[in-house]
Amino acid sequence: MAYHPLDERSVAAYIRGRPEMAKVFPGGSPLAVREVGDGNLNLVFIVESAGGGGSAVLKQALPYLRVAGDSWPLTRERARFEAAALRQQGSLAPGRVPLVYDYDEEMSALLIEYLGSHEIMRRPLVARTRFPLFVEHISDFLARVLFFTSDLALSGVEKKALQAQFINPHLCKIQEDFVFSNPYMESPENRWNPLLDAEVRAIRADAPLKVAIAEVKESYMTHAQALLHSDLHTGSIMVNASDTRVIDPEFAFFGPMGYDLGALVANLVINCLSHFAHTPDPAERRPFQEYLLETAAGVWESFARKFEGLWIEAASGDLMPRGYWDFPGGAEAFAVFRQKYLRGVFSDLVGNAGCKILRRMMGIVSVWDITSIGDFQRRALPERLAIRIGRRWLLERGRISSIGDLLGIVREEARGSEEFS
Ligand code: ADP
Ligand code: MG
């Protein structure tokens, strides 16, 4: 079928025409279709069979960037990267992503499992809901996908063959521009709280900070460590009390592991700061903010532990072959290499988390945690803190050597706001 954008009326007929769909929607019951439409890039439809006989989500790429309108062309190949990444992640971390039922190259459409009992994580976090299994689930996802797509698990030939499937230049360019460059210079799509004009101007003219961001961008563009999700914020994670799923990996490519980890930590910290406005009562606010910081710490600590465990137990990659460490003192040398490697990943986490925080305060897309604070005056408090924290993470990343140091900066900056109510 030649490409054309679907709408609520045409989705059911389209699905009926796909032979793979008979398994998802057995029987001929009518399909109820509604567009979700809160995405930034694509059309997303929820499709449910009236007779309770199956459900799915249909996601279709448009030939432009939805958040910017049809004036901003964007290739539709992102649907292919999303389908390929979901399949790869699903095989390496089973149960942590929606199943892929069907992918249609011509229509740039994929049909995936409907997560009807899950919510996009930022929303319940604003409502102070805790997810006790989240750290366990997400650290599994990160450790397994990042480890098994790296040179630690794959041969050089396998790694490059996989990497070749994820050369994703146009979506990379979006992150390169909108995370690392445009927010910190004049660019027409930038948006920020007008009360923060002075802070935004100061960031744009902060020479050491600009050097730091350029260094982090260089690593994003060149350091092809593992298959990243590459947009792993709390709007790309769907949760409920017992399950965690990562969605929307259309930006997937081979980049530095710290980018995914940093995105997640930054978004947990943004949510934490947003409670200075969402939750005025300190007795309610402080324990939840503490929970979010402990969650961020848990993400890194569990990731590092599981990643190293996989490395010790399942190292089959060319970096390095087992025999390489087979000499007197080799076990210790291997341990030193592992620690150095993980320190490098952590350092990338810090730099990327800094950029991820800053760009949400002054770039093209903010986050609902912040924009749902209607009053600009109230919003300015978490935003100012976020800018101070993001800036410090970037400038001090050379001496931030543990997750405790990183979150210590959040605590230090937030302490100054305790009088806020
Ligand atoms: P985009 O790439 O356009 O940003 P997303 O993949 O983030 O689109 O999806 C947009 C919204 O659609 C999500 O925020 C979520 O509310 C809903 N959604 C996406 N995938 C699913 C799914 N598998 N099950 C239920 N809802 C989903
Ligand atoms: Mg998306």
Ligand nearest to the CA of 100: 1
- With a pLDDT cut of 90, the percent of the chain lying above it is 90
Peptide bond into 320 cis (omega under 30): yes
What is the band of 73 on the pLDDT scale with cuts at 50, 70, 90? confident
Q: Which fold has domain 119-415?
A: Aminoglycoside 3'-phosphotransferase; Chain: A, domain 2 (3.90.1200)
Over residues 167-195, the mean pLDDT reads 97
Q: Name the residue of 38, 43, 44, 240 whose CB sits within 8 Å of the most ligand 1 atoms, as the mutation to test its pocket.
A: 44
Over residues 10-19, the mean pLDDT reads 92
Q: How far is the CA of 239 from the centre of ligand 2 (A)?
A: 17
57 lines ligand 1 (CB under 6 A): yes
- With a pLDDT cut of 70, the percent of the chain lying above it is 98
Give 12 or 66, the one with higher predicted confidence: 12
CB 237 within 8 A of CB 246: yes
120 lines ligand 1 (CB under 6 A): yes
Q: Which CATH number fits domain 11-112: 3.30.200.20, 3.90.550.10, 1.10.8.60, 3.30.70.520?
A: 3.30.200.20
419 lines ligand 1 (CB under 6 A): no
pLDDT confidence of residue 20:
82
Ligand nearest to the CA of 40: 1
232 lines ligand 1 (CB under 6 A): no
55 lines ligand 1 (CB under 6 A): no
Q: How far is the CA of 231 from the centre of ligand 2 (A)?
A: 8
40 lines ligand 1 (CB under 6 A): yes
CB 273 within 8 A of CB 379: no
What is the band of 38 on the pLDDT scale with cuts at 50, 70, 90? low
Query: Atom 26 of ligand 1 has which residue's CA nearest to it?
Result: 115
The residues facing 350 across adjacent strands are none
Q: For residue 420, give the amino acid letter.
A: F
Taking the C-alpha atoms of residue 154 and residue 142, their distance in angstroms, rounded to an integer, is: 16
Q: Do domains 11-112 and 119-415 have the same CATH topology?
A: no
What is the band of 88 on the pLDDT scale with cuts at 50, 70, 90? very high
By the 10 Å C-beta count (0-12 exposed, 13-18 middle, 19+ buried), 206 is classed as middle
418: pLDDT strictly greater than 80: no
Lowest-pLDDT choice from 25-29, 95-99, 215-219 = 25-29
Over residues 235-251, the mean pLDDT reads 98
Q: How far is the CA of 40 from the centre of ligand 2 (A)?
A: 6
pTM score? 0.97
Q: Which atom of ligand 1 is nearest to the CA of 236?
A: 7
Q: What is the pLDDT of residues 195-210, one digit of tens each?
A: 999 999 999 999 999 9
Q: For residue 316, give the amino acid letter.
A: S
Q: Hey, where are the domains in the chain?
A: 11-112, 119-415
CA of residue 191 relative to chain centroid, distance? 21
Query: Atom 16 of ligand 1 has which residue's CA nearest to it?
Result: 120
Q: What is the pLDDT of residues 350-397, one digit of tens each?
A: 999 999 999 999 999 999 999 999 999 999 999 999 999 999 999 999
Q: How far is the CA of 296 from the centre of ligand 2 (A)?
A: 23
301: pLDDT strictly greater than 70: yes
